[in-house]
A and B are shown apart, each in its own frame.
Chain A
Amino acid sequence: MDPDAEPFIKVQSVSKFFGDFTAVDSVDLEIYKGELFSLLGGSGCGKTTLLRMLAGFENPSTGNIFIDGVNMNDVPPYERPVNMMFQSYALFPHMTVENNVAYGLKRDGMGASDITRKVEEVLDMVELTRFRKRKPHQLSGGQRQRVALARALVKQPKVLLLDEPLGALDKRLRETAQFELMNLQDRLGITFVVVTHDQEEAMTLSTRIAIMDNGRFMQIGTPTEIYEFPKSRLVANFIGNANMFEGRIIENGQDHVIVESKEVDCKFYIDHGLSIQEGSKVWIALRPEKITISKQAPASQSSNTLKGMVQGIGYLGGHSTYRVQVADKLIEITSPNNNRPKDGNPPIDWDEEVHLSWEASSSVVLSS
C-alpha cells in the first residue's frame, strides 16, 4: 500500500443513535482505493449500521463521511457512487435476471443497445448467461448471489458494499464463492467494503479488517497483524482461539520481559521489550497451534513450559486438538498430524502426563 495515498473513504468521528441506543460510537476510519476491507463483529456491534451509512440508507447522527473527497452527508443513496449487495440479495422478484441487472443502467439513462451489451458482459462474467430469462425464484442460492453481485457491479461503482455476501450459502459453496469474490475484486480494482460476522471469511478475503464491538473499533489491521498481535483479550478471543493467562510483569528488560502467572505457576519469557510498567497486571495470549505437546520433558524448564494431564483429544484428520489440565485451567493445543501413528513414538493418550512448551516469541502480552 502506498503510504502517501489519500484515503478513498474517510469516516470522521461518526456516531449513530437510535433513540437511547448508540449503534455506532464516534468512529474514525480510512479505507484506501482498491482495498478489500472487512467490518467484523458479532450481531449488534454496529457494523451493518456503518455500512448502511456508507450506502446512504442511514444518516450519521454526528460526524462526516467522505467518499472520493466528497462529503456524503446530504447525498441521497441514488446519487452516491457506491452500490450495495444486500444480505438477502434483495433481487426484484417480478423481474427476470436480465432486467434485475439492467435496472441500475436504465436509471442512468443509458441507451438500450449499451444496456444489452453491458448486461451480457456482466452475466458472462458471473456465468449466468443461460439463466438470463429466469425469475429470481427459479434460481438456486448460489445463482441468486451471483445475480446480486452482477447487479451491483454492472454500475461500475467506486465502492462496492457487501453485507454478509456469503452468509446465505452453504459451507462448500462459500469457499468457492470466497475465491471468486477475491478474483473479481482483484481484476476490477473496485474498493470492496464487506460486513461479516464470520472471522474465517474476513481472514481469507480481506486486505484489512476492522473488529467492531459495541459500536467501536477494537482493532484495525491486516489479518496477520490482528491474529499475531491482538491488542486486547477481546480481539484475541474473537479471531481464532487463544489460551489466556492472567499474570504480572516481574521483569521488564531492554530486550525481554518476564511475566509470572500464579494461575498455572509459570514464568513467561518474551523476547522483546514492552512499554508496560513493571509490576502491572497483564494477560498472556497463547495460540493453541504455537504450543508443542510432548511426552518428553524439554531441555530447559525454567520458563515457557508447563506440565499437565491430557483431559481430551479430538482427532480432526489433518490435526488434533488436545485439552490439557494445568492446575485449574484447561489449555487447548492443536498439533498437526505430520507422522502416521505407527511410524514414530506411541501417540499421546488420555490421562497421560504431558509437557507443553512454546517459543519466546509466541506469547502476546495484553494490557486490557
Chain B
Amino acid sequence: MNAVTETIEPSETAQHTLGHRLGYLLQTNWKRLIILVPFLWLLVFFLAPFFIVMKISVAEAVIASPPFTPMLDWAEEGVMQIRLVFDNFAYLWEDALYVNTYLNSILIAGVSTILCLLLGYPMAYAIVRSSNTTKHILLLLVILPFWTSFLLRVYAWMGLLADQGTINNLLIALGIIDQPIQMLYTTFAVYVGIIYTYVPFMILPLYANMEKLDWELLEAAADLGAKPMTTFFTITLPMTTPGIIAGALLVFIPATGEYVIPDLLGGGNVLMIGRILYNEFNANVDWPVASAVAIALLIVLVVPMMLYQHFQSKADSS
C-alpha cells in the first residue's frame, strides 16, 4: 500500500483534487451559488445605499460637497472620533409639519388601499370565475396600462381633471354644471391617481390567491345551509385573506411614499412624505434631514409589517 501511494506525483494529486473539488462544490452547492447572485445584487444595490442613507441621517448639514459632515473624524493626535448626531430625528418629531405629513400620507395610502380592495376584490373574483378565454383577455386588460409610461398616464389624468379638462368641458357641454369643478390639485385627484395606478397591484395577488380556491367549499357551505352572504363571510373571505394582505401591502407601502402622483395631481395642496423628501434633498439641500425622513418612513412601514409577520407565524404554528 505504501509503495503505491509514493509513486503518485504530488502535483498530480493536487491538480486532481482541485478539479475534483471544484466539480464537487458545483454539484453539491449549485443551489447556494444561484441564490448568491441575487443576494450579492441586493447587497450592492440595496443594502449598501441603505447604510449610506442611514449614515447621512446621523450627520450634520454643512455647505460643502457632499453637503454633510463625515461620520469618521480625525481628532487631535491620531485619535479617531465617530460623530453621530440624532438631532435630525428629534427635529422631525418636534416640527409638526413632518408628523402631520406622515399621518396624512398614511391616511391617504390607507384609504386608497381600502378603496383598491373594494374595487379590486370583485374584479379579481369576476376574472377567476369567468371562462378561460375571457379570463385571459381580462387579465391582459388589467396589465395593459403598464405598457405605457406611468408618467404619461398621470399627465393624462391631469388633462382629464383640469378646470378646462375633458370631464369639466363635458359636464358643461351637457349643461349639468355651469362652473368648472376644481378637481385637479385636490386630495380627490390624488386619490383618483393612486387608486387608478395601484388597483392592478391589488387585483393580481388576489387573482393568484382566488385561482387556488377550492370552489367546492362554497358549494359545501351552501349545502350546509349557508346563504350566499354567509358563505362569503365564513368561507370566501377567510380563504382569501392571504391575497388581501399581499395586495394591501403592495398598494399601501408604495402609496405611502408616492411622490409623482401627489406632486402632479395634488399640486402644493396635498402634503405627502414623498414631496417633503424631494424638497429637503433638492430645494433645501439638507441631506441629513432628508435621509432622516426616509429612515423614519422605513421604520413607520416596517414595524407594523414585522408585527404582522410575528403574529401570523404564531397563529400558524398554533
Point out residues on A near B: beta carbons under 8 Å.
55-57, 76-79, 82-84, 86, 88, 90-94, 103-104, 107-108, 151-152, 155
A90 touches B214 (CB 8 A): yes
B225 touches A107 (CB 8 A): yes
Q: Which residues of A contact B224 (CB under 8 A)?
A: 78, 83, 103-104, 107, 151-152, 155
Q: Which residues of B contact A107 (CB under 8 A)?
A: 224-226, 230
The secondary structure that dominates the B interface is helix
Binds A, one of B155-163, B170-178, B232-240: B232-240
Q: Which residues of B contact A90 (CB under 8 A)?
A: 214, 216-217, 219-220
Across the interface, name the chain B residue whose C-beta is closest to A107: B225
Contact of B217 among A57, A83, A92, A155 (CB under 8 A): A92
Across the interface, name the chain A residue whose C-beta is closest to B217: A90
Task: Give CA–CA (A82, B239) in the complex, Å.
Answer: 25
A92 touches B222 (CB 8 A): no
B223 touches A103 (CB 8 A): no
Q: Report, nearest first, the 10 A-B pairs whose CB atoms are least far apart.
A: A104-B224, A107-B225, A90-B220, A77-B222, A90-B216, A84-B223, A78-B222, A78-B225, A107-B226, A94-B238
B225 touches A84 (CB 8 A): no
Contact of B235 among A57, A79, A92, A151 (CB under 8 A): A92
Evaluate whether A86 and B225 lie within 8 angstroms (CB atoms) in the complex, with A94-B239, A103-B234, A107-B230 already known: no
Evaluate whether A77 and B219 lie within 8 angstroms (CB atoms) in the complex, with A104-B225, A107-B230 already known: yes
Point out residues on B near A: beta carbons under 8 Å.
214, 216-217, 219-227, 230, 234-235, 238-239
B96 shortest CB reach to chain A, Å: 44
Q: Which residues of B contact A104 (CB under 8 A)?
A: 224-225
B242 shortest CB reach to chain A, Å: 11
22 A-B pairs (CB sep. < 8 Å): A55-B219, A55-B223, A56-B222, A57-B219, A76-B222, A79-B225, A83-B223, A84-B219, A84-B220, A88-B214, A90-B216, A90-B217, A90-B220, A92-B221, A92-B235, A94-B239, A104-B225, A107-B230, A108-B225, A151-B224, A152-B223, A152-B224
Task: Give CA–CA (A91, B222) in the complex, Å.
Answer: 13
Q: Which residues of A contact B235 (CB under 8 A)?
A: 92
Task: Give CA–CA (A155, B224) in the complex, Å.
Answer: 8
B133 shortest CB reach to chain A, Å: 14
Q: Which residues of A contact B217 (CB under 8 A)?
A: 90, 92-93
Task: Give CA–CA (A84, B224) in the complex, Å.
Answer: 8
Give 8 A-B pairs besides A57-B223, A103-B221, A108-B225 with Cβ atoms closer than 8 angstroms: A56-B223, A57-B222, A78-B222, A78-B227, A79-B225, A84-B223, A90-B220, A92-B235
B219 touches A88 (CB 8 A): no
Task: Give CA–CA (A91, B221) in the complex, Å.
Answer: 10
Across the interface, name the chain A residue whose C-beta is closest to B238: A94
B317 shortest CB reach to chain A, Å: 12
Evaluate whether A86 and B227 lie within 8 angstroms (CB atoms) in the complex, with A92-B235, A94-B238, A94-B239 already known: no
Across the interface, name the chain A residue whose C-beta is closest to B231: A78
Residue from the set B217, B224, B225, B230 with the largest chain A CB neighbour count within 10 Å: B224
B239 shortest CB reach to chain A, Å: 7
Q: Which residues of B contact A108 (CB under 8 A)?
A: 225
Task: Give CA–CA (A295, B222) in the complex, Å.
Answer: 64
B220 touches A86 (CB 8 A): yes
Across the interface, name the chain B residue whose C-beta is closest to A99: B234
